[in-house]
Structure 1
Amino acid sequence: MTYPILQDKVALVTGAGMGMGAATARLLAGAGARVAVADLNEEAGERTVAEIEAEGGSACYVKVDVSRSEQVETMVDAVVAAYGRLDVAVNNAAITPDVAPLSEFDEDYWDRLMGVNLKGVALSLKFELRQLIKQGGGGSIVNVSSVRGFSGQPNAAAYVAAKHGVVALTKVAAMENGARNIRVNCVAPGAIDTPMLAASLARRGQTAADIAPTMSLLNRLGTPDEVAQASLWLVSDLASYVTGSTIHPDAGYTGN
């Protein structure tokens, strides 16, 4: 059951067309928020909006490439134009990890991945924070990192570096904005059953059954909804004394 802990709040979720982003957008809407569903994939984003509306929620779609500053600024402006303000954001947009050793990494893919997975979070923070500061009254932001933000992984240097960077951005943003009552936190999911993980495993010649025993003390993949619950708690007032922190929905992987 979802309780209306975000009643009358306006939320923005990037990468909300599928996977964890879509689950998060639906959960925030179920908790009472009006949700801006931001994604580069228009069909996927509109599908999430339709799912929210079918459940009685309020949502709108915003097309965005989070690696482009002007598009991210326009995204935040569109949320404010639609709903009058911004209260919470979940910066989830990311692309599939790289698959080459560091000695042979593809520079074009490195640049694209860094543009979305790291710069995209930084740009989202930049313009979300500007809006929250302009409004006054505080707010709450969650950035989505990964267990790879706390450990290495062979043949995924760009992804690992970017996800470490997301944790660092979270700490800096929390330090800079705590006095304004703007909280910035992070979730670092483990092996979650999403289209992105499936694509990444396929590129590596692996299956979910191959990784579950080593990636999870519960011997299973997590669900997008289980990660979304962590984000919901962090953006809500239930976590009013939490900032600069990371929650690990990873079935014990990081701590073991």
Structure 2
Amino acid sequence: MENVTLNNGVKMPVIGFGTFQTPPALTEASVARALKTGYRSIDTAQVYGNEAGVGAAIKNSGLARNDLFITTKTQTDGYNETAKGIDESLRKLQLDYVDLMIIHWPTQNSLETYRALSDAYKEGKIKAIGLSNFNPTQIQAILDSNDVKPTIDQIETHLYWQQNKIAPFLTENEIVHEAWAPLGEQYAKEMMQQPEIVELAQKYNVSGAQILLRAMTQQKIVVIPKSNNEAHLQSNLDIFGFKLTDEELESLKKFDQHHSIKDWPVSMRESVY
């Protein structure tokens, strides 16, 4: 496993297991399978409704807590609701702390929501705090209002939207770029069938998905692919045995369409900031 180091010194695996749209009743088994396969970073969220399943899988895994990296996201708005939500997440996850908690998307009271996260960080309930779906203007407002710098911005990123416009801002402010939908969701098959991706997959004797994920992790972009297929679970994790050349990485930039496949939130459109 490769890691990225967040701006507060915390180390985070560069690949994790996502639980978006995993039904609560299936979450424990899904996460248990991922942990057994070798994943040590798990991504959940309050709005997913499956934190309890993640917590049960962790508890029953037999793994040491310090070997795991657990992320969840607030769906709250404002200080008091966020503070309550943090404690509720810890209860559902059956944890004394989470490794990373991020604001799921910007709200009218993002500054107060972030203040609740920063206070919980100072209390040791959270080891690192960050953002999701925030554009540079919104991130700058957070930076200007709080002495705890966000460590990460989790944003839609894949072959068709490489987020090269926001990347320099994130780098300049020492904020890690994390990709949701790294395989492009409904466009995954189309992406993997691009001739250039097929050619690279054949060259390195790997799958198209492995090429797509490796291209991002080589650029220190954290990825959280999701799969309930055991073979795909393993192959998504097994991406560190090869390395794309600089020229090959550069060649993939031509696929960037500079826009979302979901168009959510609108504030992330490249034309907005």
Q: TM-score range by the shorter chain?
A: 0.3 to 0.5
* TM-score for the superposition, normalised by structure 2: 0.39
Give the greater-gyration-radius structure (CA). Answer: 2
Q: TM-score, normalised by structure 1?
A: 0.40
